[in-house]
Structures are given as C-alpha cells and as structure tokens.
Structure 1
C-alpha cells in the first residue's frame, strides 16, 4: 500500500534504532515494498497516506533516505542500502541489451592487489580508435537500427498513467547515486577496468640506456602506451588486461590507481573488490536504465517529468541528480572511446541521452520570467554542472575526425523528439557539444582551423606600442592594411615597442591591453561600444559610423584570442554570439526575442513589455508607433493595435538586433569570420552558450566577501548589524556556486561580474519586517534585497533559498 512521508520517516527512525540487523530490515519492509511497484510508488511519500492531491516534499523524502544509508547511521546501514538498491532495480524496466554487463565485473579478480582503475589522463592518437573494453563479441550491427523501438517489440513510445512514480524513485535513490563512484586526482569520476590487470615484464633485448642529468637508467622499448597517463611505457614492468583488451598501465599509474581504489573502499566502508564492483555496477546500471526509460516515454510524459524536476525539485537535489548522471558518463567515457565501434554500447549512449534530458530540463526556467523583470530567468543550475571533464582524457584529433564523418549532427532535442533513436550522428562526443569541456572543444575547433591551413603554421609577429590610442591604430594598420587574410589566421607572437620581453606571457598581456583599449577608444566623437550599468554589458554603438576598420580589427582580435588559447572578459550579452553565429549561417543561431533585449538594454525591454501587457484599445494613442525605421519589416503606415502588437514588438526586436547595428556588426563579424569562419565545427554544432565559453572561458565565481564590503544596509539597528546580518553573509558563503549566482539574479537580474569587480556591485540590504512566515524579496532595478528578520540562521537560510527557488518558476512563459 502507499506510504506517506510521515510513515517513511517513522520507518527510517525505527530501522536506525533497531537492536539488530534482522529487526532493522523488518522495520524497513514497508518502505521496500513501496519502492517495488510503480503504482504504489506513484502514491507514496506524500503528506498524509492517501492525500494524492498534495505536493511531494522531495527534500524531505531524500533526507529520510539519506539518513538511512549514510555511513555510521547504524551498524547495518550497508545492508539497508543493498535492500534499497534491489528494490530500485526491481521497479526499473530492464534494458533489452547489456553490453557493459555485470559479468564483466564479476570476472575480474577480487584480490586487492589485482584490481586496477582507469584514470587515463590523456588519449593516444594511435589508440583512440582501437578495441579495448574487454568485449569478445564481434561489432554489432548499425546502432540506429538496433535501437529502433519497433525492433524491441514495444509500443511506439512508452506511456504510463503518471510519471510521479519516477520522480519519487529518483528522490529516494538520490543518496545512493551521489558521490557513489571513485574519483581521480582531478575529481573526475572513474570506474575500475572490468578485468584483472596482469603484470608483464619487458624482454631484455628491448633495453636501452638513458643518460639522465645525474645517473643513467635502463629504458625498455615495450611498444606500449599507458592508457592512464598517455606516455610511452619504458619501465621493465607494466600491466596488461588479462582478457587481452588493448589496455596497458605503466607501473606508476597502476600503483596510483590501486591507491585511489583503496582510499575509496575505506571511505565507503567496503571490504573487498567484488562487493565494490557490484555497488559501482548498480550505479551505472540503474542510471542507464533510467535513461532508457525516460527517453522512450511519450513526449507528453517526458515533458511532464522535465517540468516536475525543473519547478518542483529543490535546486540542491536537482544539482545532485545532474552530478550523478555526469559521474556515470565521465566514468564510462574512457572505456567507450577505446572501442572500435563506439556505437555498439547503446547503454552508454542512453546514459548520455539521460544527461541531455536533464540539460534540457535545466533550461526550462530560462523560458520564464518574474513579473518585474524584462529578461528571462537563468537556468536552474549553472550549465557548467553538465560538463563532462572525462572527455578531456580522449584524443581531440581522433574525436574531431570521428565527428567529421557526420558533420550535420546537432545537439539532440530529447524533450521534443517523438521517437527517440540512437543514430550514427548521436554517437559522437562532439555531437553533444553542450556537454564537452570548453578546452577540449577549443582544441577540436583549432584542429579544424589548422586543417583548413593544411599544416602551414607560421607565427605572425607583431610589434605594437603600449599606449592605448597608438596601440589601436597600430593594430588596425596591420590587420586591415598590411596583412592578407591567410596571414591573419596564423597565431600571434607579440612584443611591445622598446621592451625586450616576449613570449606567451607578453602575447596574453597584449590581448588584455588591446581589447580594453578598443572599448575605451573614441572615433568620430563616438565610442565603439556603449556600456549599460544595469545589465553590466557592452553593446555596439549604432552612432559609431565610419568605423568599419575598428570593428573588423576587434572581430579579428576575438578570433585570434581563441587561436592563441586566451580567454577574453565576459563583457558582451549572449545575443552578440548569436548574431556572430547568424552571420556564419549557423543553424544553432537562435531567433532573438524580447528577453534578449533585456540583457542588452533593460529599459527598452521594459517599455516593449508594457506594450504587450497593455489591455486597452487606445494602445496606438498611448504608445505611438515607437518611431523606428521599419523598412520591409512592417508597412510604414501600419499602426500598432491589440491585434498586431506581438508582431509589432517582434519586428522592433528584429530591427534592434539587425538593422540598427548592422553597420557595426557586419565588419566585426567579418573580422571574426576571417580567423575562425573556416571551421565547419563552429558553423554547425556550436551554439551561443558554447561560443561564449570558447571565447570567454568559464564564468567567474561570485565573491561574497567583496559584495559584503560594499553593501549598503538600510533600516537595521546596531544589534541587527552586529548579530543578525552576519548570518546572511555566512549563509551566502556556504551555498553552492550555482545558488550564489541565482541569488545575484534574484537581487540584480544578472549574475555577471560588474566592470570594476564584485566590490562595485552596490547591493542594498533593507530590513523588511520581522517574522519567520515572511520571505525575502527584491527590487532588481535597484539591486535591493528586502530581507525580513528571521528568528534563526537556519530560518534565514531556508527562507532565502525558498525565495530564490520560487522566483525561478514564477511569471509568464
């Protein structure tokens, strides 16, 4: 029968307080039974046993299960966790095929000294397409055909009366998925190689002598490359897969992987490798089964589940769920990339599809806005949470060459596709470019650019003055008059006039000085770019006419920064990157809308929003015709009305991002295209979010101390200032980076660092009454937080996080 959340908590309390393991299992039996069937699970963990109209408190559910399986909560916590794993495996549908099977783990030697772990640091070009997962089967047929739903004797799409059972299950097993896999020294999740690694000894006749700086040492020509560190194995002893997979480890990496595994076993209180392997396999297996089931739901149920996770799940739980999926894919990716036919592992690609589903779910709050805001909300958690750093262990050139066989592939829209199928296009890491680390994506993009140059790479030497105005004109002279386009595509090597220093450090300094100088320069009594204080972004100045060479040179600098592995400050709204992609005729360039103006000029967006919200028939008299050159977008004599106001506003948006700034954007985009326009990868699979990261790198973390140093406090007593307000800063310092960014959006409508640093944010914290029943609110146009006085720090924390979470889903789509 269904189990209410109160009964769940009572059962957990009883199981933890039981005198022995048998009684503990008996106390937990109602929970296990509730987990075993979808229909019961759908009605469980609600407030009250049978109150199906109530909302499920997912945080409360997860906390109950977390108490149950936390190490040290009881002497038999491991036994209870195994019961929950079994129940979850029972309720989740089994996949049709299991190429990464449990037998692969069980065949591995269970002795500690025999186990190994794949912590590959970098790939090897010669091995990137070689076999190496331990499978002795022949490559399977085309994965696209193999995974056709009709071929698996199921309906067109899975249809269930409700998806609530699945969201309930996810909240229940989340503690078992969180931090469930070992991590390497870079904090990337890993799994052991499924087979025993046997010690090998190099033949004596392969030995040579290497003369080092202080002594000689023997080196052996093993003709092997370590799959952990990517270097040639020259030690006498090394390790090779007992099942003859193409997997080798040098002695140092074998020792280090053993240490990592031992440390993880001690942390999770596991006594042998066999038990550990079963636990790791369960995490991988259940994640891949969840992915298969979700992706084969009908579109309506898929969207319902996404909406539930986006707007009903607390951010902290969703972030953990996303991280668990990332961990599984990260751990599996190095095993998959060693296979000749990477499409054959359909389970892995369903895990990737599940991660794409969560990525799309994460974007749903972007399509809503609060009533007082003119731009859309940000994602539920930062996009960086979905990045697969494990891909950095792969070989970029090999992956680029694999993607090039299917250059038309784009990021799949898993929320909208009627029938999900894994195709050849889907089975490439670069197809999932939104999940690929920015540095890996950059290298792949450069592989594409260098290929266009046919290997003729000769650094372009540039000598410039340091004084900003003279530097700008020197750059324009070289970029627009002295050099050909082919020369401009070479990486820069810069030195400053009358200075001896040179090298990469000076080149990096040049980009910092040059990009800053172009922002400050005046031409024909106008700046090239204008700065908006509210959005904290720069935008092209439509009054900067006759400055084509200036803008073209700036576009070349942006492209050259990518070519030289240099990140530029994130000072432009994302709309600029959409426009650059549009000029490249990329299918990933989105149509810009009113919310995009909100990120450029919030006041303009506010005025346009007032037009859309105005209900009266006298709309033309109230707002006029906006006095803008409509050209062919709308008839010149067409007046705004209730019937056409949406088209009228969208036409204005089109003009704002096109006709209004075309004289400035066209030369800037031509300069950018001169450097990177030859990249087919950039023109086909990179969207504005990814291009922004390629150019600017990762977002800068929020500095709470710096914000605190300049915050204005209004309406607080001395006692409040000394005893209460420190709680606010302690809470903000303790939350995740994503929640810090959400707090900034909540208070200021932007998570960008101000031009002069976080200390110049100017946050106003105003007292707004007393009482735990109140919630914080904000006036984003004034960067003003209205904070009630709560009775405890925990009340302050929960109230603040609740206010932030509620703001994400409130408003109009």
Structure 2
C-alpha cells in the first residue's frame, strides 16, 4: 500500500521580514547581539527539500511558456535582504541548495506497509512501514522554477574569500550541468523565460556570469606550460555545460528565431514568422543586448584552427559549435585560415599544372627528361587571381574574367587597370571594388530598386540586366569578405538573413519598405469586420517597373479574391513572401550562387547575419575618435602640429552625421572594419608648409587625407566642410 508525503510549505518574503523584525524586537528587549537562529531554522525548514524550494516566492500565476510562475522581484528582494545577514544565513540557504543540486529533481516519500495479506493491511493500518525515497530528474516545466530561483541567489555571484569562491564555483558547475542536461522541450521553456521574465540589466548580468565561469576554467587550462593541457577544454564537461547554458541565453536574445518552435516543440512555419508586426518585432525580435556581449576574449586565445578542424570532424566538443562565443576577430582568423588552406591546395594544383605544361612543351621540343623549374614570376602568380580591366568597360570585363576564373575566386585578388602604371598593393583592389559597386548599385543601372524613405535597396524584379550581373554582385561581396574590403552599398540585413537561412520577419520588410510594412501592419491591427470595404484589396502583389504598375496574383485567381477579416493574415503572409522571395527569386538565386561560389567553406556558417553585414559594410558602432587617432600615421606632420591638433579637435566637435561624412570622405566608408579600428590604416599627409585656399583632398584607396598648412582652426573646419560637400556624389579619388 503506497501513500505520498506532501512537501513542506514554501517560503515567502513576508515570512523573512517578519522573522527579522521579531529578532530585532527580542534584541531591544533583552539586549546583546541580534539572534537570527530562528531565521536560520526557518530557512533550513522551508528550503531543505526540492519541492519546497521550487514552490517558494510563487507569483500565483500558472506556469506558461511566457511566465515562470515565480515572483522573481520578490525572490531577489528576499535574497538581497538575507545577503546582509550574518554568514550563517547564507550558509543555511546555500547548503540546502547544494544538497538539492547533488540530487536534483523532485523526490517522493513512499510508505510501503509490511503486511502478509491485503486484508491484514486494511484491518491494521498502524503496521510498521518502510520509507523509500525516490528521486527523479527534472521532467516538468514546473520543476524549472528552482533554476530561476537559483539564478536570483546573490551568493553565487559574490565571493568574499577564496574558500567561498571555490564553494560557490562548485555550486555553479552543478547548476549548469543540470540545465545542460534538460530535455529540449524544457530548454525551450527556460529560454523563453530568460527572454520574457528578466529585465535587460539582469539578462546582461547573467550572460556575464556564465562567461566568467567559462573564462575561469579556460584560463587555468590555457595558462599551462603543458601543450596538451591547452586542449583539455574539449573534454571538460563543465565548460561544455556552461556553453550550453549560454546557448539558452543566446536563443533568448533572438526571440524570432526562438519562435521557430512552439511550446510543444513543433516547428512553426516560415509564414508564421513573416507576419510579426514590426513594433512587436522591435520589442521581441531585436536583440536585447548586442551580440558582442556573448563574445569571450579567452576563447579567442585558443588554437582556433585546431578547434575549427575538430568541429569539421564532429569528434568532440569545440567552441565552433557555439560560435556566439567567438569574436569577429576570431571568426575572421578562422575564415582566413580556411581560405589559406584552400588557396594552398589550389596553389599546389596551379604549380603542378604549370610544371606539367612545361614538361609537355619540353617533350614536344625534344627536351624530355630535363629538370623542370618555375620562374619567380610564375611562382608569385600561382596563388593570385589577377584581373586586368579597363575603367570604361569595368562591369563587362570584370564579369568576363571572373567567369573564366571561377575555380580561382578564393585566391588573393590583384587588380591591373589596363594602360595605367602601378602595382596593386591593396589600393587598386579597393578602387576596383568601390568603382564596381557604385556602378552595379547605381539606380540608373536598374538592378536594384531604391526606397526614398529608408535609403535602402532591394533586388529589382523588373530589371532588364542579365542574371549574370546579379551573380557578379554576389561574387564581388564574397571577394570583399575574403579580401577584407569594406563596401558601401545599402542592401538591408534581410539579404544576409536569406544567405544564412534565417527566417524573415515583417520588420525586415519595414527596414527597406517602411510605408508598405506600415500599411500591412495597419491591416493586421484592424479589428472591425468591414476590412473588404475599408481597404479594398485583392490577393494581388504589385511592383513598379519603369513607371508602370505590374500586378501579380498572390494565389490562383487572386485578382478576384477580396481581402477580408478572415483571410487578412494569409494575405500579409503571401505579400511579405512575394516582396522578399517569389518576385525576385531568379535575381536572388543568381546572387546567392555568386556569393557562395566564393564563400563556400564551412567557416562562414559561424557568423550571424549581422556579423556578415558588418564584415561587408563595416561596424555600425559609434565612432571612437580617440581610437582612430591612436592608429593614425603622419607624413610631413606630427601629432603635435597645430594643424593636426585642430583637425582632431574639429573631428570630435562634429556631430555623428558629420563625423561619418568625414570618415567616408577619407576612406569611402562611414564605418570602421568589423574586426576593429585597429585594423584600419589611416594616414594624414602634409601638402606643403604654406597656407592655401585649396580644399583638402583624399585618396580613399589608401585611407589617406591630404591637408595644407591652414592658417587657423576655423579655416580648416570650413575647408573640411566644403570638401565633404563638394565630394558627395563623385567617384573615387
């Protein structure tokens, strides 16, 4: 005969406050130190079992996908109060927590009555019983409240002594292990709670906490003089568990992607994702914290190439499995390693092909058997992709030569402008990129359609240009990544989402077609039943083609099917899909092929869409003029020269818009490299020791600003302003 034993009553903030008040009243009455022993007993009683701990500080709300059922604010206040108490109070809480963590999950006490027959047990219920304690793992979403409460305990974050640090590190690693071993369904609940139940400040603090744990364990391994010790992390179950925990925070930071699954784990359709209104998406879809807050600087110090190779082999834990921990610099190291590895293979093939060609020619000339060697020039050209183009026929000749060298696109790029002297040390290559991109994205060229409100562009469904040219755009963007060149063109983030198969939301449409997106949102938000009369819409998509409106049915006979309150959701789904996908499917597909023809390695899959955009267009972070100043070199000036001091003073004085205009005037981009300003070469050159009424000039291919020895600060400021104004709309200098 079995009977369950009920758990102890849960703990509330009011009980703690009342117990403290009673202790203080006793102290006033009898004097001496405040005796908190009754509070210790309360904590040991209320928190000594999993079910009691798990039920503490209940919000009174049902546990759902959006709510954890815990009043986290009350729990935080309670633990904060307890943190001001003597150490014995903290010990009472954390000792109980540690015991629960050693044997996680609910436990049930069953009394098994000893009886020879069923009738004997019924007649004598006081028979001696044997108590069996049965533990089970976390199986239900209700069990996760304990985890949310553990994250509120301040003692796992603050360590006053080395002994405390070691003790709480042990508790933390047990907590992370439990979380990492939860089922995928419980992971979805926990990730949702992290997204919905924490303030941004708390969310950020939790991320930092998990990262510190990884840093602490990894640092001790990486500092070892034993080379074999540097790869111990691949077998460190604690680091693996912490990485999985961080993955939950990362998913919580990307709510739209988290919503790819419903609470039961069933996949949501891409259409469901596509109609999230932009104001809702900006609250739930935008990142709560920047992606770089997940980066771990110590992870950047591991042998990245070894980690990458192990990841490709799928044989053990690697940090490449959790690429959000890798900074942009670390990922670019991997990209460069992967590219170099592939280039080395192609170089060897090229060298072998040249040798075979020479051997064949020698045999034809009767020199069979002689030793074949390559000249220095031949060896230098083997690892290079050399394009020889004319400025007045740039697109056609670039397209033709890239098409004929498809197998060499991942070689290092060199440019020669026909009829011009000069060796490409990087400047000609950058100039080729800038000129080509400006022509390809010129609105008059018609490959892309532009929106005046957003200043963004998208593939033009009515373009008359050949699909080969969209392929060329993809190739050029891929080449820019591999050749570390920032490009200035206004393709939105949605392009990079599509490249990485990340679902598209209505907010992505709003990024480059804000008025269209706003109209679709208004349709979704309209609650009356007279949608058909008010909006007068049919299931038809439309785009402008050189002044004419072209309509396309979104479904069969869509031109005859009105949009109503019942089908408006489907209409928005199909319209978003029409604009973002179906209407430009051919143009995008050729663009995608071109991009992956260059960036076809595994390394690119480590990046987020935002990171790919940063690689191509540069970092959108605020400009740091002091950091830019620190990497600047001077020719004919020095940093103490009056003109230079005035220049930096003016640069700092400019608002953000003019700072970016000035940076673009000098470098052809208003952004820093995604890998950091330290990777930007920046040069200021003196054009003579005399004053001048000429404007400053720049050589954007070399990030070089040329200044005269202007007579005063105001004159320099005016000259810079005029130079920026005059240069806008013109080509590369």
TM norm. shorter chain > 0.5: yes
Q: Against the structure 1 CA distance between its residues 691 and 396, is the aligned structure 2 distance closer, same or farther, given a 3 Å change threshold?
A: same
> CA offset at residue 304 of structure 1?
3.8
> CA offset at residue 630 of structure 1?
4.7
2:407 pairs, out of 479, 486, 509, with 486
The residue aligned with 2:717 is none
1:38 pairs, out of 14, 29, 50, with 50
The residue aligned with 2:538 is 624
Q: Deviations over 1:582-619 (max 9, x none)?
A: xxxxxxx1443444323332322233334444566665
Asked if the contact 2:539/2:571 (under 8 Å) is kept, the reply is no
Mapping of 1:271-670 within 5 angstroms?
A: 276=162, 278-297=163-182, 301-333=186-218, 335=221, 338=229, 344-364=235-255, 377-406=285-314, 427-453=317-343, 454=345, 456=347, 458-460=383-385, 470=391, 474=394, 477-481=397-401, 484-493=405-414, 503=425, 506=427, 510=431, 513-514=434-435, 517-518=438-439, 521-524=442-445, 526=446, 528=448, 530-531=450-451, 533-534=453-454, 537-546=456-465, 548=467, 550-568=469-487, 571-581=490-500, 589-614=501-526, 619=531, 622-628=536-542, 630=552, 634-635=556-557, 639-640=561-562, 642=564, 644-670=567-593
Asked if the contact 1:374/1:606 (under 8 Å) is kept, the reply is no
Q: Against the structure 1 CA distance between its residues 591 and 306, is the aligned structure 2 distance closer, same or farther, given a 3 Å change threshold?
A: closer
Q: Tell me the distance in 1 between the aligned counterparts of 2:48 and 2:346.
A: 60
Asked if the contact 2:254/2:285 (under 8 Å) is kept, the reply is no
The residue aligned with 1:700 is 621
Q: Tell me the distance in 2 between the aligned counterparts of 1:460 and 1:20.
A: 85
Asked if the contact 1:295/1:353 (under 8 Å) is kept, the reply is yes
Q: Against the structure 1 CA distance between its residues 579 and 45, is the aligned structure 2 distance closer, same or farther, given a 3 Å change threshold?
A: closer
Q: Tell me the distance in 1 between the aligned counterparts of 2:406 and 2:20.
A: 69
Q: Against the structure 1 CA distance between its residues 331 and 43, is the aligned structure 2 distance closer, same or farther, given a 3 Å change threshold?
A: same
Asked if the contact 1:365/1:379 (under 8 Å) is kept, the reply is no
> CA offset at residue 381 of structure 1?
2.4
For the residue of structure 2 that corresponds to 1:389, the secondary structure is: coil
Q: Tell me the distance in 1 between the aligned counterparts of 2:460 and 2:39.
A: 69
> CA offset at residue 398 of structure 1?
1.2
Q: Tell me the distance in 2 between the aligned counterparts of 1:343 and 1:168.
A: 30
The residue aligned with 1:808 is none
Q: Tell me the distance in 1 between the aligned counterparts of 2:277 and 2:471.
A: 38
User: Which protein is bigger by CA-based radius of gyration?
Assistant: 2
Q: Tell me the distance in 2 between the aligned counterparts of 1:11 and 1:508.
A: 74
1:92 and 2:92 matched: no
The residue aligned with 1:170 is 151
Q: Deviations over 1:513-569 (max 9, x none)?
A: 448635762444x473524534x6443333443165654443223212221234556
TM-score w.r.t. the length of structure 2 is 0.58
Mapping of 1:765-784 within 5 angstroms?
A: none
Asked if the contact 2:76/2:153 (under 8 Å) is kept, the reply is yes
Count, aligned residues: 512
Q: Against the structure 1 CA distance between its residues 655 and 11, is the aligned structure 2 distance closer, same or farther, given a 3 Å change threshold?
A: same
Asked if the contact 1:402/1:428 (under 8 Å) is kept, the reply is yes
For the residue of structure 2 that corresponds to 1:649, the secondary structure is: helix
Asked if the contact 1:11/1:28 (under 8 Å) is kept, the reply is no
Q: Deviations over 1:632-678 (max 9, x none)?
A: 9645566245555444433332221233223542443233223112x
Q: Tell me the distance in 2 between the aligned counterparts of 1:551 and 1:328.
A: 47
Asked if the contact 1:159/1:298 (under 8 Å) is kept, the reply is no
Q: Tell me the distance in 1 between the aligned counterparts of 2:14 and 2:496.
A: 50
Identify, as 1 or 2, the structure richer in helix.
Answer: 2
Identify which of structures 1 and 2 has the higher relative contact order when contacts are C-alpha pairs closer than 8 Å and 6+ apart.
Answer: 1
Q: Against the structure 1 CA distance between its residues 5 and 658, is the aligned structure 2 distance closer, same or farther, given a 3 Å change threshold?
A: same
Asked if the contact 1:46/1:54 (under 8 Å) is kept, the reply is no
For the residue of structure 1 that corresponds to 2:450, the secondary structure is: strand
1:159 and 2:140 matched: yes
CA RMSD of aligned residues (A): 4.8
Q: Tell me the distance in 2 between the aligned counterparts of 1:571 and 1:390.
A: 35
Q: Tell me the distance in 1 between the aligned counterparts of 2:437 and 2:19.
A: 62
Q: Tell me the distance in 1 between the aligned counterparts of 2:597 and 2:331.
A: 19
Asked if the contact 1:397/1:444 (under 8 Å) is kept, the reply is yes
Instruction: Give structure 2 stretches of 5+ with no counterpart.
Output: 1-8, 61-66, 106-133, 223-227, 260-272, 348-381, 543-550, 625-668, 673-733
> CA offset at residue 443 of structure 1?
2.8
Asked if the contact 2:346/2:383 (under 8 Å) is kept, the reply is no
Q: Against the structure 1 CA distance between its residues 492 and 67, is the aligned structure 2 distance closer, same or farther, given a 3 Å change threshold?
A: farther
> CA offset at residue 343 of structure 1?
5.9
Which range is displaced more, 477-486 or 153-162?
Answer: 153-162
Mapping of 1:18-57 within 5 angstroms?
A: 23=35, 30-31=42-43, 34-45=46-57
Q: Tell me the distance in 2 between the aligned counterparts of 1:479 and 1:636.
A: 40
Q: Tell me the distance in 1 between the aligned counterparts of 2:73 and 2:103.
A: 28
For the residue of structure 2 that corresponds to 1:623, the secondary structure is: coil
The residue aligned with 1:120 is none
Asked if the contact 1:530/1:540 (under 8 Å) is kept, the reply is no
Q: Against the structure 1 CA distance between its residues 689 and 25, is the aligned structure 2 distance closer, same or farther, given a 3 Å change threshold?
A: farther
> CA offset at residue 171 of structure 1?
1.1
For the residue of structure 1 that corresponds to 2:240, the secondary structure is: helix
Mapping of 1:247-258 within 5 angstroms?
A: none
For the residue of structure 2 that corresponds to 1:92, the secondary structure is: helix
> CA offset at residue 320 of structure 1?
0.7
Q: Tell me the distance in 2 between the aligned counterparts of 1:694 and 1:674.
A: 17
Q: Against the structure 1 CA distance between its residues 170 and 523, is the aligned structure 2 distance closer, same or farther, given a 3 Å change threshold?
A: same
> CA offset at residue 400 of structure 1?
1.9
Q: Against the structure 1 CA distance between its residues 399 and 82, is the aligned structure 2 distance closer, same or farther, given a 3 Å change threshold?
A: same
> CA offset at residue 351 of structure 1?
1.9
Q: Tell me the distance in 1 between the aligned counterparts of 2:452 and 2:670.
A: 13
Q: Against the structure 1 CA distance between its residues 364 and 539, is the aligned structure 2 distance closer, same or farther, given a 3 Å change threshold?
A: same
Asked if the contact 2:233/2:239 (under 8 Å) is kept, the reply is no
Q: Tell me the distance in 2 between the aligned counterparts of 1:16 and 1:701.
A: 52
For the residue of structure 2 that corresponds to 1:542, the secondary structure is: coil
Q: Tell me the distance in 1 between the aligned counterparts of 2:436 and 2:71.
A: 49
For the residue of structure 1 that corresponds to 2:298, the secondary structure is: helix
> CA offset at residue 700 of structure 1?
1.3
Q: Deviations over 1:460-479 (max 9, x none)?
A: 456889xxxx58x5365234
